[in-house]
Structure 1
């Protein structure tokens, strides 16, 4: 059965889509938006009763929540020539799990506030004080990430894994926070390498056309 990924690429669905492109997976993309009621139809609520994207449908195996979708695809599938984004050792698994959970608990809320009030929302609706406060909150977590990257090129060690996708997909929301990113040179260099990957660029192109 066909692998399906629900959700516009201009949403958290970018995360599982990034994995799919890294691994060269064949899949059907159903680019539902998160606004306008598309996720509240009876048909979609059978797929995800929470009424949210993304959702991965792997032949009837349904996965909700963007990070769960991302980790599932990495564990479930191998890429061309045996490429794997999943853990190959217990040490890698520890890094993948802790950084994927860390970015949700320590970074995502504030990164999204900055993205909305500093970049995406119309100027008249933005609250600059919220954007500034969110960056203050993020300074500590980014220093921790910067320290971790001092002696390794990727989050789990010497190779790119799903941990880098999970964390970079959130930190990418801070691209325009140049002063904050400049304070963390290891994060800045790592993020540039993550976002330069062809798979990420493909998903970014999809987001512009969805």
Structure 2
């Protein structure tokens, strides 16, 4: 059985969602991203970044949530989250990297300066700048979904899971102005696996 280190109120929710979609057994090892345990020697031996999540699958130890999702989807490709051919696989990598490089830095900037930091440390101008930057990214996403329900092969894949998980606060980030992307986001989070995971997350 695979082990996923982290808590659901962290990026560990992403590989947990993937495991639920795939129907594979897993153990969630509770570890808070801000707790002392992530700085312990035992945990740093698994993840030298001192962050969550970390996946342990036999001899494989893997960090970075989106990479873990890709690995699990490919390992269990019969369940349909992976690409059907090289072109679909390339699109999965494209959208996952887009999520990591184009969308997540701005989404995190907004969250940091509106919710994560103590009130006295928040900078509204940086939160507003993040929202403005996300408008161009959401336009790209909305255009990609103009004639399709999903990002790759017009079926739900790990590409959708990764992008949707990064943009879980899509409406708060201004996503309501992008109807194609908004409908897609709702489809992703209406899936039974997402409902189970995010329902437990609270």
Q: In the alignment, is residue 134 of structure 1 matched against residue 133 of structure 2? A: no
- Secondary structure of 1:173's partner? coil
SS of structure 2 residue aligned to 1:50: coil
Structure 1 partner of 2:11? 12
Q: Is the contact made by 1:100 and 1:163 (CA closer than 8 Å) also made in structure 2?
A: yes
Distance in 2, Cα, partners of 1:166 & 1:61: 21
Unaligned runs of 5+ in 1: none
Number of the residue aligned with 1:102: 98
Q: CA deviation at 1:117?
A: 2.2
- Identify the range of structure 1 (112-121 vs 180-189) with the bigger mean alpha-carbon deviation: 112-121
Selected match of 1:159 from 133, 147, 155: 155
Report the TM-score when normalising by structure 2.
0.94
Q: How many residue pairs were aligned?
A: 202
Give the alignment's TM-score, normalised by structure 1: 0.90
Give 2:113's match in structure 1, choosing from 104, 117, 120: 117
- CA root-mean-square deviation: 1.5
What SS does structure 2 have at the residue aligned with 1:165?
helix
Encode CA deviations 1:60-107: one digit per residue, 9 max, x unaligned: 2111111111101111125xxx42211111221121010000111111
Deviation at 1:130, TM superposition (A): 1.4
Following the alignment from structure 2 to structure 1, what is the Cα–Cα distance between the partners of residues 34 and 168? 22
Deviations 1:121-162 (A, max 9, x none): 454443221111100111111101110000111010221000
- The equivalent residue for 1:38 is 37
CA drift at 1:202: 1.6
Distance 1:206 1:72 in 2: 24
Query: Which sits farther off after the overlay, 143-152 or 126-135?
Result: 126-135
Distance in 1, matches of 2:179 and 2:115, equals 22
Q: CA deviation at 1:185?
A: 0.7
How far 1:37 moved relative to its partner? Answer: 1.8
Q: Give 5+ residue unaligned stretches, structure 2.
A: none
